Each structure stands twice: as structure tokens, then as C-alpha cells.
Amino acid sequence: MSVKALRDYKFEPLDKAANFGGARVVYAGWDGHMMFASPYAWPLPPDLPFANFLAGPLAQAFSQHPDWANIDWSAAVWTRNGQPFSPDLDGSVADNGLNHKDSLVFRTPGLDGIGGLGI
């Protein structure tokens, strides 16, 4: 469907990739760890190695959780926009085909949150 308007109602999307100074916005959430109320967002340089994304922004956001230190990244299960996704840790954001405003979710089997309650 389309908006009903008096005149043409067509404007540029406010958050297209070109508006972020070369960065791509990427979202990531940690499944089964409800201590973090929502997924978070970062503007990432396309040449940032995925491993550095984990060790940098992601660690800064999620390492307050006692499960963080025990994550085995080779066993982590990822989705991108709800579809299965297998990141190459050595590849960059661009090498991994991450697009502007992709939403990642990772699951860490065996780590079930505070008291095993998914928190």
C-alpha cells in the first residue's frame, strides 16, 4: 500500500547508508540473555575484521555478563535478519557480506544466562 496524500509524497530515506560517513549500521543481540533489554546498534567501518567487532564493540556491550568470558565463538550460532549466518571471524564486515542495517543475533549453546533462566 501507499500513503494517501494531497501531492507527491516521496522523500529520501533518512538513514540510507550514504548518510553514515562510510560506516554500516549493524545491530546485534545475544539470544537467551535477557539481562540486555534489547539488541544494540553500532556504525561499523566495512573493513573492520569481524573478530575485532567481537573483541571491541560487542565485548564492551555484553562483557558485563558473567557468561561472556565463557563463550566459545567457534560454537556460536548466528542469524542475520532471521536467516542462518556463518561469519568468517578473520574476514571483514564487508567480506562477510554484512549490509547496512543488518540485524545479527547470536546464540551461545551451553550458556543459559544467570541461574540458567535465560537472563
User: In Å, what is the CA distance from 45 to each residue of 27, 52, 53?
Assistant: 13, 11, 10
CB of 98 to other proteins, least distance (A): 11
In this complex, which beta carbon is closest to other proteins, that of residue 16 or of residue 97?
16
CB of 59 to other proteins, least distance (A): 10
Q: Where are the alpha helices (DSSP H) in the chain?
A: 50-53, 59-62
Q: What is the CA radius of gyration of the chain?
A: 17
Q: Where are the alpha helices (DSSP H) in 47-117?
A: 50-53, 59-62
CB of 35 to other proteins, least distance (A): 6
Interface residue list for other proteins (CB under 8 A): 1-6, 9-16, 19-21, 23, 25, 27, 29, 31-32, 34-43, 57, 60-61, 64, 81-82, 99-103, 105, 114-115, 117-119
In this complex, which beta carbon is closest to other proteins, that of residue 86 or of residue 115?
115
In this complex, which beta carbon is closest to other proteins, that of residue 49 or of residue 100?
100
Phi-psi region of 13 (alpha: psi -120 to 50; beta: other; left: phi over 0): beta
